[in-house]
Each structure stands twice: as C-alpha cells, then as structure tokens.
Amino acid sequence: MALSQSTQLGLATGLFGVLSFLLAVLAEINKPPYGTPIQGQDVVVCRFPRDPSVALGALAAACSAALGALAVFFPYGGRHIPREVLFAHTPLYVFFHVAVGVTVAGAGTTVLATASEAMLHARNVHREPGHACPTAETGVLGGAAFLNLDAMLFWIVCLMLVCNVREDYFDDGHGGDGGAGDGIEEK
C-alpha cells in the first residue's frame, strides 16, 4: 500500500525537523569548551581542536529550511487550492504564520551560533596577552535545535489543517475535475 502525497510530505517534514534537531544537538555536544592558547610575541594564537560543530550546525540550518511551507502549497494529485481559500481558514492562517516565525527564529539562531563559532576558528589571533581562547556561547545551538523541532511540529499541524481545508474545498464542489483547479467564484 502506497502512502499518499500528503503523508509523504508530512513524513519528510518530520524527518528533516528531527534531523535538524539531532544535528544541532550533536554540534552542541561536540563543541569544545575552549581552545589552546599559544603565546607568541605580543599576541595569543588560539588553536581549537578539530570538531564538527560548524559543519553540523550548517547542516542543521539547511535541514530546518521550509519543507513545511512547500508542503502547504503543494498541489496534491494535481488539484490546486487557491491561496485565498487556504488563508481564509483562520486556524491555518494563525498556525502558518507561527510556523514561519518559529522556522525563521530556529534557522536564524542556528546560523548565528554556527557563524560565531566559525569566526572564532577563523580569527584566532588576539592581541591581549591573557586571552583564554573561549568558544562561542554554550547552549545556543541546543536552543536552536529545540526551535527547529518546534517549527517542525507547527508545520505538521499546518499540514493537518491543510488536509481539512482541502477536504472541505473539494467536497463543496469547487475542485473541478481534478485539473489545475477552478478557484472560487466571486459573488
């Protein structure tokens, strides 16, 4: 028995949300607490151990990208629903905007934490003789991981609401013959 398109996109959204969560948590766990300061002439060079936190953080940000938004507007079975009809359903309108906000916050926090960690690795020469070579703030990638997981859950709720709107729209006779969709008549 084959899965429907809505189920496939829902599972893909869930998979990428969980993957984003796991990658960000792994990046947080594997991040070293500090680097090794090497004294030079009037400078301190920070040498950080090789760690995958920058790469894992970048992958987590990529996985949290808006697959859910694609699934909301995807024409299942070639049957399109006008955007106005989707957003006329108030719960979908609210959950969609919350999902977009949480997705942007999660991806932004993941990118911010990853970029700050990458900058510490790239700009590792400091002019202060007592510099201790700390890494970026601890816990930011973990917080971003939970934001990405929350975003995935909001997208799943949006997909369930889209299924309800689609069912109502096509049951009311607006769906046409399954082609590109006829839209809703203006009154």
Where do the DSSP E strands lie in the chain? 36-39, 44-47, 125-126
- Is residue 165 within 8 Å of 89, Cβ to Cβ? yes
Q: How many CB atoms lie within 10 A of CB 123?
A: 9
161/110: higher pLDDT: 161
Most confident of 74-78, 110-114, 157-161: 157-161
**Considering only CA atoms, which of 185, 172, 184, 170 is closest in space to residue 6?**
170
The SS3 of residue 68 is helix
Domain boundaries, given as residue ranges, for the chain: 5-32+53-122+136-171
| In the chain, % of residues over pLDDT 70 | 90
- Is residue 99 within 8 Å of 44, Cβ to Cβ? no
- Is residue 48 within 8 Å of 61, Cβ to Cβ? no
Residue keyed to tokens 């109502």: 168
Quick: pLDDT tens for 75-111: 877 888 889 999 999 999 999 999 999 988 988 888 8
pLDDT > 90? residue 32: no
pLDDT > 70? residue 156: yes
